[in-house]
Amino acid sequence: MGLEIERKFTVVGDIWKEGATSELYVQGYLPSNGSSTLRIRQAGERAWITIKGRRDNLSRLEFEYPIPPADALLMLEKLCLTPLIRKRRYRTEYQGFVWEIDEFQGENDGLVIAEIELQSENQAFIRPPWLGREVSGDRRYYNASLSTSPYSTWAQSIG
């Protein structure tokens, strides 16, 4: 059984890009009954299908399996809700933790979110200076939500 424990934050500035590596991601979501999320993701020549359960605080079940890139492309084009999520994912280390920072493109352009995966919900970590406010519990920032309610449709209401 897979368990994802993740915290999400907005990002301030761009100093975090120093020394970070990046890769372009395209992902889409299949229609769901609300009890789980089914994601198709492609990055370069790799592709995955991911099933995520409902969030319980900072944790949720997560199962991820590689699939042929050609299958992923067809599913993204024919089965997934639109708009697809396009983002450049950066990875950078800070104080012993790997942070993933997503710089969104297309309908979600202008949104930058940092994520950290933890071993437990109460695991301590040192906040990088470029970390903004925590948005872990705000459903608007979930990638699945961004595919149906893109950042461009609600950016003016964010303070």
Which residue, 46, 43, 42, 1, is CA-closest to 22? 43
Which residue, 10, 9, 67, is CA-closest to 38? 67
- Catalytic residue at 94? no
Catalytic: which of 25, 29, 90, 141?
29
Place of tokens 């609600």: 154
Q: Are 82 and 75 in contact (CB under 8 A)?
A: no
Convert 96-129 to b/e letters by CB count within 10 Å (16 or more is b). eeebbbbbbbebbeebbbbbbebeeeeeeeeebe
Hey, which residues are catalytic here?
A: 29
